[in-house]
Every structure is written in C-alpha cells, then in structure tokens.
Amino acid sequence: MTIKQLSVFLENKTGRINEVTKILARHSINMQAFSMAETTDFGILRLIVSEVDRAVEILREANFAVMLTDVVCLRCDNVAGSLSVILEQLAENQIFIEYMYAFAEGEQANVIIRPNDITRCVEVLSDCKCNVVKEF
C-alpha cells in the first residue's frame, strides 16, 4: 500500500536539479511528482518516478547520493475541502506528517505523504475508505 519515493541529496548550486532531470530524461524515466526541501547549503529532491529501481541505479552511477523512502500516495477529488477531511482523520489518530506534497490532474488530486508511522497511516486511510494508490 506504500510506494517508493526517490530522495536525492543536492548541494544548493545552480543547475544541480537540472542534472538530475537530464539524466532521468536521457534514460526515458518519467517524473510523476517531485518536491524540493532546502536549507541554506543543501537540499533534498524528492521524486516519484516511473521506474524507481532503474532510476536509483543510474543516479548512483552518476555519483548522486540517493535513497528510497516509503511514502503513501492517496487520490482524492480535486475539490475544496477533500484533503482537509483526510488530514483530520490522520490527526485524530495521532499520525504526524513529516512532509507532504501534492499534484492535481483534472478531476483528481494526488497527495504524497510521509507519515511518522507508515503502517498506522495506511490502516487509518483504508478504514476511512480513502483511495490509496498502490503503484503508478
């Protein structure tokens, strides 16, 4: 019920994200979603991609520090308030969200969540009949 997210360590340096996207493009790996967390000197690029194992391999080959993280991806209606209902459920069940990011496509919105307790999070979401995405 979880999916693998690719995390890449990057120095804050012009063109560094572009290096990653170029390598993935060269190998025809599609990025479905991404977000960037940054500090003054470094950042962590988080990606959901089409072929995650191959992406890890080619990025490691290009000397990037890469790791896989389990995240939950859920799909909800792209209308006002739908995410709020879900987040309320998580909060009620004491699930803390370390980070999240979202992307909407038409009628639907996809939300990537990194919770502190991933098993509990999946349980709670299935109990409330949320649409948890198994794979892209």
Residues 21-80 that bind another protein (CB under 8 A): 37, 39, 41-42, 44, 46, 60, 63-67, 69
Which residue in 11, 63, 18 sits closest to 39, CA to CA? 11
* The residue to which tokens 């098993």 are assigned: 119
Size of the site for another protein (CB under 8 A): 20
Q: Which of 124, 134, 61 is nearest to 91 (CA)?
A: 124
Q: Which is nearer to another protein, 28 or 63 (CB)?
A: 63
The residue from 53, 57, 77, 98 that contacts another protein (CB under 8 A) is: 98
What distance in Å separates the CA atoms of residue 74 and residue 79, rounded to the nearest whole number?
14
State the residues that interact with another protein by CB under 8 A.
5, 7, 9-11, 37, 39, 41-42, 44, 46, 60, 63-67, 69, 98, 114
